[in-house]
Amino acid sequence: MRQPLVVGNWKMNGSLAANAVLLSELKPLLANANAVAVAMCAPFVYLAQLSDMSSIGGFKVGAQDVSIHLDGAYTGETSAAMLADIGCEYVIIGHSERREYHHESNLLVAQKALAAQRAGLTPIVCVGETLAQRESDSALDVIGEQLSAVKSVLGESVLSQCVIAYEPVWAIGTGLTATPEQAQEVHQFIRATLGSAGVDTQILYGGSVKPDNAQSLFEQADIDGALVGGASLNAQDFFNIVLAANAL
């Protein structure tokens, strides 16, 4: 039985004051959705604040990136052990914005997932196709390659302990969402690619998830929750998405 999981991805948004307001609005709401695991992924500088507030807030803490290195002369990097040290349980790996703007390769994404997993964090491994790839019918090939790079570094059984997020690049921050059927087709493919252990893997959908489309996505057999960008910055919107997952 897979527990629904809803993860907020704040991206590069927030401030000490705005985060405190958002989390204090969210706290009483989340008490009404116990069946769902909830995590918030914040910029590095706010992880300590989130970690402090998570003890009273009913959510877990995640980062948005991690170094492949353990420690040492890597200016600007943050290790997986440091994330665990500050109270993180999750880390987003290979988000399409990092793949695109920071040229992260499938291999680097796999190495980051390994570093996270070795430090006891749960990697949220993002995969997804661009619009051109979807239109040329190569979405499943692209996603298959993204997954197989991670599988060859982590091994099948460890990969199945990660969270996988299917995020079609054309749906991120655009207001366009994959239809529930399009998303289900990819989620089913991902689960099949994970092998026998994939039956327990939480596979999230991400890409313009909003309160009004969450339920129809969550009704699909292989969609176990969501990775939520824009709507995670509004307590009521985010909670309404959590509530839709709570009914699964």
3-state class percentages of the chain: helix first, strand second, coil last, to nearest 5: 50, 15, 35
Which of 95, 97, 129, 187 is catalytic? The answer is 95
Minimum CB–partner distance for residue 234 and ligand PGA (Å): 11
Minimum CB–partner distance for residue 74 and ligand PGA (Å): 25
State the number of binding residues for ligand PGA (CB under 6 A). Answer: 13
CA max distance for the chain: 48
Task: State the DSSP H helix or E strand holding residue 207, giving kind and residue range, or none if neither.
Answer: none
Question: Which 3 state secondary structure label does DSSP give 57?
Answer: helix
Is 167 one of the annotated active-site residues of the chain? yes
228 binds ligand PGA (CB under 6 A): yes
162 binds ligand PGA (CB under 6 A): no
Question: Which 3 state secondary structure label does DSSP give 223?
Answer: coil
213 binds ligand PGA (CB under 6 A): no
Which of 97, 129, 167, 187 is catalytic? The answer is 167
Closer CB to ligand PGA, residue 9 or residue 51?
9
**End-to-end alpha-carbon separation of the chain, Å?**
11
Is 95 one of the annotated active-site residues of the chain? yes
- Residue from 93, 230, 241, 242 touching ligand PGA (CB under 6 A): that is 230
Only one of the segments 78-86, 150-158, 211-219, 225-233 lies at the binding site for ligand PGA (rule: CB under 6 A); that segment is 225-233
- Residue from 5, 80, 190, 209 touching ligand PGA (CB under 6 A): that is 209
How far is the C-alpha of 178 from the C-alpha of 158, rounded, in Å?
Answer: 28
How far is the C-alpha of 116 from the C-alpha of 129, rounded, in Å?
Answer: 24
Minimum CB–partner distance for residue 178 and ligand PGA (Å): 11
- Residue from 172, 194, 223, 235 touching ligand PGA (CB under 6 A): that is 172
Only one of the segments 59-67, 69-77, 214-222, 228-236 lies at the binding site for ligand PGA (rule: CB under 6 A); that segment is 228-236
Minimum CB–partner distance for residue 56 and ligand PGA (Å): 26
14 binds ligand PGA (CB under 6 A): no
123 binds ligand PGA (CB under 6 A): no
DSSP string across 128-182: ---HHHHHTT-HHHHHHHHHHHHHHHH-HHHHTTSEEEE--GGGTTTS----HHH
CB-CB neighbours of 80 under 10 Å: 26
DSSP string across 77-111: ---HHHHHHTTEEEEEES-HHHHHHS---HHHHHH
Question: Of all residues in this chain, which one has the CB nearest to ligand PGA in the complex?
Answer: 229
19 binds ligand PGA (CB under 6 A): no
The token pair at 208 is 């313009």
Catalytic residues: 95, 167
Query: Which chain residues interact with ligand PGA by CB under 6 A?
Result: 9, 167, 172-173, 206-209, 227-231
